[in-house]
Amino acid sequence: MSAAEVAPSRLRIRDLAGEGVAGLRARPARTALTALGTVLGVAAFVAVLGLTATAGGQIGKRFTALAATEVVVEDADEADRDHLDPAFTADADARVGAIRGVRAAGVWWPVGGDTAPEVGGVVLPGRSAPAQIPVIAASPGLFDAIRPGWSQGRAFDALHDRRGERVAVLGAAAARQLGVTELALRPAVFIDGVPFTVIGVLDGSARLPELMFAVLVPRHSAEEFWGRPGAGRRAKMLVETELGAAQVVAAQAALALRPDAPQRFTVVTPPDPRQLRDQVSADVGMLFLLLAGVCLLIGAVGIANTTMVAVLERVPEIGLRRALGARPWHIAAQFLAESAAIGSLAGWVGAAVGAMTVVAVALARGWTAILEPAAVLPAPLAGLVVGVVAGAYPAIRAARIEPVAALRR
Amino acid sequence: MTALLDLRGIGLTYPGPPPYRALRECDLTVAAGDHVVILGPSGSGKSTLLNVVGLLDRPTEGRYEFEGVDTAGLGNARRAGLRARRIGFVFQAFHLMPHRSALDNVTVALMYSGVPSARRRRTGLEMLDRVGLAHRAYALPSQLSGGERQRVAIARALAPQPALLLCDEPTGNLDSATAERILDLIEEVRAAGQTVVTITHDPVVAARGRRAVTIRDGRLTESTPAAT
Ligand SMILES: Nc1ncnc2c1ncn2[C@@H]1O[C@H](COP(=O)(O)OP(=O)(O)OP(=O)(O)O)[C@@H](O)[C@H]1O
Ligand SMILES: [Mg+2]
């Protein structure tokens, strides 16, 4: 036999993997404890990413529901120059309503000059209400825009408004204060002594919840008794748009209202919801991702530490394997396989724990859990990488152990 | 008979510090199928010699031929290949992997020659049966007696059917009755055609060899050949 005919020793990949797993199964409790740090690190990563996405989605959803479809047009006459004509024309609702993407629009302002009108109820005649009840002049369109709920009756309509009829709608709290409980008897409220027939009682609204404390009267009726909106009591228009149309509507509203003087209005639009969500994600996410990174680092140190201890503990085994034909890199590969197996195990468990955390938090808060695949799927891989990196140094140390010295132990 | 081993002027100096000359000018030729016993007091260099013969350590002087191949010309990978296929070790301290079954401890000897796992398993069970431990295949070393552990170690050494079986004080930790069984087993192996080199300082063990050499302060001398 010649030297060239002597075959080198070898280690099959399957055997390497088998030894890696066997090393973990031999000491299950130790394996679990070793993996714990990495499990927490990976879980923290997945949970942070998932929770930021979930919370961000939540903000987005609330936004979509209301604020994102709301545009407010304000009378911009800050110098209180008191133009001769009102900023909002009588047909303001229709003008804005004609813009594509508008669902409803209505004008409103608090009634009264320097002193608010006095409101009295029917049930206790002669006695004014215990608290100041604001009187709001409103165009009929406002009732569509605020998305009201009705406990009784209905809103006043364009006809009431045009004819300046003395009708009123009460907010829920105002109705309670005024003692209005039943509309069948056509009760009236007295505003500065003028009776207004109550035709509807609100029990809630999605927008302008402050209206629940107010008495609402048609804008033309209000103008008849208390004049146009004046200094400090500027009129505003609330516009509800289709989803996604707010910005476009806002750009057109002023011109549609007053083609002759669009500069008399300022238009308030909702912030871009995506921008807001990203901002939240960035702020909260970065901090927690940093913490998760620290967690993962501690996990890696844990694996490195245990693998190092295992190497020292298993010096005789290393000597034995060398005597049985293992080469230094076979030994290194074996320890690397063990730490890699611990790492990926931790990655899988961590991903599962993280995902469950996100789902649990979302359930508890009544949110919709959002788990991006990009946040969950790389987790086991991240665990593997942590395991390999952590095991590298101990593996090299193990490979350098001399078999003769190892066997003498 | 062809020589399995041929050592010529082998010397080994441990680098220290201080450097220590553990082997000097050792000549030894072992024929295939022979059983050589190496005797010597503690610290005389027996284990050192066995490590050289077993290709775990390289001599610093001399020439060592294994199966006609000059081992100095072999790279580490091929030396490891010979250890995996042609050489079996039995240690005084058994050196079993504590958290692995008896079967795993046997089959690991076949791993580094690339034997597929199904065949490893079959061979492992066969070897355990041969040393009378088939019923303990899935026991952990901690659940085995000293004699059983050494039998597992012998099964491991024999699994690759090595040409050379090297035993370093194989009965040092065992009582005489158990030692007797182990020695019978080794004799059986030799009778089947394998070459055995046994280190010992126990005359009872030495009596089993067909030939004895003595090592003293790193020097080998042929003793009176044991009666054949
Ligand atoms: N790495 C080393 N560096 C220096 N000296 C060493 C080293 N290893 C062994 N020695 C020395 O070499 C000599 C031979 O050691 P060896 O282990 O071969 O003895 P031995 O004959 O097997 O003894 P025992 O019967 O006690 O096992 C001893 O004196 C020992 O101190
Ligand atoms: Mg010794």
Say if residue A16's pLDDT is above 70. yes
Mutate to test the interface with A, among B83, B107, B115, B168 (most CBs of A within 10 A): B83
Ligand 1: which residues within 6 Å by Cβ? B 14, 16, 20, 22, 40, 42-48
Identify the CA nearest to A134 among candidates A208, A32, A220: A208
pLDDT score, position B169? 85
Out of B97, B112, B117, the one facing A10 most closely (by C-beta) is B112
Say if residue A302's pLDDT is above 80. yes
Residue ranges of the domains in chain A? 12-63+275-407, 88-257
CB A128 within 8 A of CB A118: yes
CB B176 within 8 A of CB B2: no
Nearest atom in ligand 1 to the alpha carbon of residue B45 is: 18
Say if residue A166's pLDDT is above 70. yes
pLDDT score, position A397? 93
Say if residue A237's pLDDT is above 70. yes
- The SS3 assignment for A409 reads coil
pLDDT score, position B143? 92
Percent of chain A with pLDDT over 90: 17
Q: Report the gap between the CA of B74 and the closest CA in chain A (Å).
A: 6
Average pLDDT, chain A: 83
Q: Looking at the complex, does the CB of residue B134 fall below 8 Å from at least one CB of chain A?
A: no
Residue whose CA is at the smallest distance from ligand 1 atom 30: B43
Cβ <8 Å between B74 and A3: yes
Percent of chain A with pLDDT over 70: 86
CB pairs under 8 A between A and B: 98
pLDDT score, position B96? 92
Burial label for A3, CB within 10 Å (0-12, 13-18, 19+), is: middle
Provide mean pLDDT across the span A267-282: 65
Q: How many CB atoms lie within 10 A of CB A2?
A: 9
Q: How far apart are CA A140 and CA A160, in angstroms?
A: 9
Out of A2, A12, A317, the one facing B114 most closely (by C-beta) is A12
pLDDT score, position A121? 67
- In this prediction the pTM is 0.69
Provide mean pLDDT across the span A235-253: 85
Q: Looking at the complex, does the CB of residue B164 fall below 8 Å from at least one CB of chain A?
A: no
Q: How far apart are CA A266 and CA B190, in angstroms?
A: 106
Residue of chain A minimizing CA distance to B48: A404
pLDDT score, position B226? 47
pLDDT score, position A208? 83
Identify the CA nearest to A319 among candidates B202, B163, B108: B108
Low-confidence ranges of chain B (pLDDT < 70): 1, 224-228
- The SS3 assignment for A189 reads strand
Q: Report the gap between the CA of B223 and the closest CA in chain A (Å).
A: 27
Given the cut 0.90, state whether the ipTM is greater than it.
yes
Say if residue A80's pLDDT is above 60. no
Q: Report the gap between the CA of A398 and the closest CA in chain B (Å).
A: 16
Identify the CA nearest to B40 among candidates B192, B228, B221, B193: B221
- DSSP annotation of A127 reads S
pLDDT score, position B210? 85
